[in-house]
Amino acid sequence: MPLRIDRPVTLYTIEEAHKVVGVSQPTLWRAVWSGKLPAVKYGHYVLIAEEDLWRWKAECYREDMAQRRRGRKALRRKRRCKPKVGEQ
């Protein structure tokens, strides 16, 4: 089945996109899986339009990073508060 594109657009794979915008590959994969970053699967490639990539970075990227940081801090606090085995 051919990939039809109505207008000229630049498409990147995840590997190419992370180099273009300077975001790690796992972060891009999370954005695609969560639906925040629109992508098209063609064969075994996941393709992202350049305009969607830049829009996602401008609108969602910092927000996602802030949420992850807050989650990590909460986990650290929980680990510190846990008593060791034998302590109470």
pLDDT in tens, 22-47: 889 999 999 999 999 999 998 999 99
- Would residue 63 count as lying in a domain? yes
Contact 77, 63 (CB under 8 A): no
- Would residue 71 count as lying in a domain? yes
User: Does residue 82 surpass a pLDDT of 60?
Assistant: no
- Would residue 6 count as lying in a domain? no
- Would residue 4 count as lying in a domain? no
Summarize the confidence of residues 46-50 as an average pLDDT: 94
pLDDT in tens, 62-72: 766 666 666 55
**Number of independent structural domains in the chain:** 1
Does the model's pTM come out above 0.85?
no
pLDDT in tens, 2-20: 767 788 889 999 999 999 9
Which bin fits 86, alpha (ψ -120 to 50), beta or left (φ > 0)? left
In this structure, the dihedral spanned by the alpha carbons of residues 39, 41, 47 and 53, taken in order and rounded to 10 degrees, is 10
Domain extent at residue 40? 11-81
